[in-house]
Chains A and B, each alone.
Chain A
Amino acid sequence: MSNVPMEYYLILSAFMFCVGVAGVLIRRNAIVVFMCIELMLNSANLTLVTFSSYLGNSIGQVFVFFVMTVAAAEAAVGLAIIIAMFRNKMTVNIDEINIFKW
């Protein structure tokens, strides 16, 4: 791993992040959007691990665990919300969810 320059990892994670962002912007299905957000988080995780490894301290890796935990909790709440939504409206297309505007 040490012969791969750090920049490669960073660029990869930045790319992943951008893919996540793009997904959020483009996709209509709430679950897919949420998955894209998870992708963003994971790209951040990758960055953290990279730095942790190159800096040689463990804080970053510890933090990744926390992030993953939090993401799991978030997923739980988020999916619950999406389910509640689906029950009431029978759709998870976020374009159709717009009673509040202006």
Chain B
Amino acid sequence: MPYIVIGVGIVLSVIIEISTKKSKEILPWFSVLLFMGTAIYSIVNVSQSFVLFSGMLEVGGKSAIFNAIFNFSAALIVLSSIDYLKKYEAYYGEYYILIQSSVLGMMVMASAQDIFMVFMGLELMSICFYALVGINRKRLSANEASLKYFLLGAFATGFIVYGIALIYGSAGSTSIQNLVENFVSYSSNIIFVLGLLIFFVGFSFKIAAVPFHMWVPDVYEGSATTVTGFMSTAGKAAAFSVFIIMLSAVVSYNAPNFFKNYFAVISALSMVLGSVVAISQDNLKRMLAYSSISHAGYMVIGLAAGNLYSIAGIIFYLAVYSFINIGAFSVISAIEGKDESRIDIKSYAGLHSKSPFLAAMISLFMFALAGIPPLAGFFGKYYVFFGAIQADLTWLAIVGVLSSVISVYFYIRVVVYAYFKNSEENFTIQTSVGTYSAIIVSAALVIICGFFPDLLLGIITTAVK
């Protein structure tokens, strides 16, 4: 049902774009409505789980949660894009259509019950992202980002397809259901394990885990801020949704713990490297790119632990991470000036005197990213650490906390500039209804999920079980 709605929405958007010149005013609000409607529909129908397209897609349960996350993030991103795109000089109607399509792709990924569907969803999403990254085709930075993203993304796709081929060959089927049921017998087949590993590597690229993270800083820096916000949240969540689907096969059947080790290692690498390198970044978008790498690391802890708690933890983490990051990128987009100026941390000096609201909000999001209780970010980490310790991965949890100590430094550095330093540049910040409402909604969610994590967690736990 939600897939049809989005699909119809895309068609309608295309028609609007073609038929009227006012499409730029209509499309954003249309998209917001579309996304919000789908998000709410998904949340309401969490408990109704059924299968579509002869076992290809599953509706409800985990996928409903993911669908809600995708749609909700998209809605917020669209809100904050309205005014930003004018500034960014890329005020095209297809922007919204691309977002809608990519959301459809994500939804397919998250609901997939067959590796084919995973691939289809992934490609739909990725191709839209390639285009979104380069949406401002006049700008060299956007060109470079999209080219890098495209080449490396396609490279990764090559691995994924090859992996799928090997899995298919050794299992004789692409149904995930089948994989789950017969995992133990398959796992003695070296080709199967090899295929699965290659497949996982491809997705490790998508979630930006070290050492497959190299594209992230450049692409995040070069694309439009709102697009970065979208990719780093919904895009990452979509890739994780695939891991979680596949993982129910890998872990619940006592597989050889090779994958556990694999995840543990890339998680440790990502956490440490992301945190460490972020320290020396002055460009805020680039810094958040590295932060996103380290957060991917935290989430992978949950994959390594692989129990119910940690899976619920990852989903929770993804949801709150989406709110936080969208909020943070919205603030950045609000402050950003023409020609991608003012994304350097120095421009944030004395922000509190220019705009107390934005200063408070960026601090809130930074503290949340740093995982300071009682903000939502803390609970995400708490959950994955909890899962890790339960799975006897205490060392990983310790690596995690140590790297979050390091990461605190660059998060609070933003607060230092916003509050403790005096302004050096003079500029005025235009208020934007769309962006500000996106920020407020994200902030509210960050606080609410912090004080009452059970609201969200309750839904997730029921869905996971």
Contacts and interface: CB of A to CB of B under 8 A. Distances in A.
Determine whether A and B are in direct contact in the complex, meaning some CB atoms lie less than 8 angstroms apart.
yes
Interface of A: 10, 13, 17, 20-21, 24, 30, 33-34, 37, 40-41, 43-45, 47-48, 50-52, 55, 57, 59-60, 62-63, 66-67, 70, 73-74, 77-78, 80-82, 84-85, 87-89, 94, 97-101
Given A34-B154, A88-B143, A81 B130 contact: yes
B162 A84 contact: no
Given A100-B141, A101-B218, A70 B123 contact: yes
B90 to A, nearest CB: 12
Interface string B163-205: 0111011001110000000000000000000000000000000
A97 B144 contact: yes
Nearest to B143: A85
B137 interface: yes
A81 B146 contact: yes
B166 A47 contact: yes
Given A59-B174, A97-B144, A50 B116 contact: no
Nearest to B156: A37
Contacts of B174: 59, 63
Contacts of B123: 70, 73-74
Given A57-B172, A63-B116, A77 B217 contact: no
9 contacts: A30-B147, A41-B161, A51-B169, A55-B169, A63-B164, A78-B151, A85-B144, A99-B144, A100-B222
B173 A82 contact: no
Interface residues of B, number: 40
Interface of B: 116, 119-120, 123, 127, 130-131, 134, 137-141, 143-148, 150-151, 154-155, 157-159, 161-162, 164-166, 168-169, 172-174, 217-218, 221-222
Given A30-B151, A88-B138, A66 B120 contact: yes
Given A78-B150, A85-B147, A48 B127 contact: no
B432 to A, nearest CB: 27
Main secondary structure of the interface of A (DSSP, over half): helix
A44 B146 contact: no
Given A17-B162, A30-B151, A81-B146, A63 B168 contact: yes
Contacts of A60: 165, 168-169
Contacts of A87: 137
Given A51-B169, A63-B174, A74-B154, A99 B146 contact: no
B168 A48 contact: yes
Nearest to A56: B172
Q: Give the interface centre of A30, A78, A94, A101 by most chain B CB atoms within 10 Å.
A: A78
A78 B218 contact: no
A59 B173 contact: yes
Given A44-B161, A77-B150, A94-B147, 4 more contacts: A40-B162, A57-B173, A81-B134, A99-B141
B162 A43 contact: yes
B76 to A, nearest CB: 25
Nearest to A59: B174
Given A40-B158, A88-B140, A66 B116 contact: yes
The 9 residue pairs across chains A and B that have the minimum distance between CB atoms: A40-B158, A51-B169, A100-B218, A47-B165, A44-B161, A84-B137, A44-B162, A85-B143, A70-B123
A74 B157 contact: yes
Given A66-B120, A73-B123, A77-B130, A37 B143 contact: no
B161 A100 contact: no
Nearest to B165: A47
Nearest to B154: A37
B155 A37 contact: yes
A59 B168 contact: yes
